[in-house]
A and B are shown apart, each in its own frame.
Chain A
Amino acid sequence: MPVNTKAIGKSYDPVVYAVGREKIREYARAVGETSPLCLDVEAARAAGYADVVAPPMFAVVYSAPAVGPLIFDPEIELNFAMMVHGGQEFVWETPVVAGDEITTTASVKDISERDGRGFYVFESVSDNQRGERVCTATWTNIVRGV
């Protein structure tokens, strides 16, 4: 059965994520981040940041609420049971700090098929409350046996 490509280009409503200081610390501890910029408010302020700095991969936390729903969008027809996360790219710009409000918009970048596998490529762009770009992400999910 060929993949359904009609959702290519579809864009979704933006989702706002409010970045909390303790959420950054919780995430930092879970990934083993030891930089004082991520854990210690005084160290972050001494380095010129308003509050603790999110580790770069914290992008997962603020962008997932925008990207997650695409997997279950009936228009995309993605077979979740056969899905694996095949690849991921993040491009970071302005650092994220506690207190930021990050708005993320997700879209379907591409849907294609190769060797009996479906490739579902989603893109998300995240901006802070000042309209500065903080991160652009490309999420590649592979579905076996399409």
Chain B
Amino acid sequence: MAKLQAGDQIPELRVTPDKYLTLRYAGASGDFNPIHIDEEFARSVGLPGRILHGLWTMAQVARAQTEAAGGPERLKRLSVQFRGMGLPEQEVVVTGTVAEVEDARAVIDTVAVQAGNQIIRNAQAEVEL
């Protein structure tokens, strides 16, 4: 049972997506948009290269919450805004602060940052304690 109180930071989650992560995530999720898996195509539409799936990054934000709360079934709500783009082979860091705790539920304000950019911002999670 996790003990979270208002003002607490949740444990930071750090993960570096490897070169082929977007291919595995495409297969696992069914999202084969070529901007995520085809370097040449991504560059042809003005991107720096293949970009991470926003929903993979959101899954890292989710995992930071479930690891803090004590299990995957404890996450009850997660809302995020995607900004900019995430890239493979660069570390993603998820941080969060408990905004309030009420009736064994914690509300956590959280973000995902890569190379100084908030690629997920204004995110809010609700977990069952």
Chain A residues with Cβ below 8 Å from B78 are 56, 89-90
Neighbouring A residues of B95 by C-beta, 8 Å? none
Residues of A at under 8 Å CB distance from B? 23, 26-27, 29-33, 35, 37-38, 53-57, 60-61, 64-65, 84-93, 95, 138
Q: Tell me the smallest distance from the CB of B9 to a CB of chain A, in Å.
A: 20
- The interface residues of chain B, by DSSP majority, are classed as helix
Chain A residues touching B, majority SS? mixed
B79 touches A29 (CB 8 A): no
> B116 to chain A: which residues have CB within 8 Å?
none
B residues engaging A (CB < 8 A)?
15, 21, 24-25, 27-31, 54-56, 58-60, 62-63, 66, 71-73, 75-82
A57-B71 contact, Cβ under 8 Å, with A26-B28, A30-B25, A32-B15: no
The distance in angstroms between the C-alpha atoms of A65 and B59, with both chains bound, is 19
**Given known contacts A30-B56, A89-B77, A56 and B62 CB-to-CB distance under 8 angstroms:** yes
Minimum CB–CB distance for A110 against chain B, Å: 15
What residue of chain B has the Cβ atom nearest to residue A27's Cβ?
Answer: B28
Given A26-B27, A53-B73, 10 more contacts at CB 8 Å?
Answer: A31-B25, A31-B28, A37-B73, A56-B72, A60-B29, A84-B82, A89-B80, A90-B79, A92-B77, A93-B76
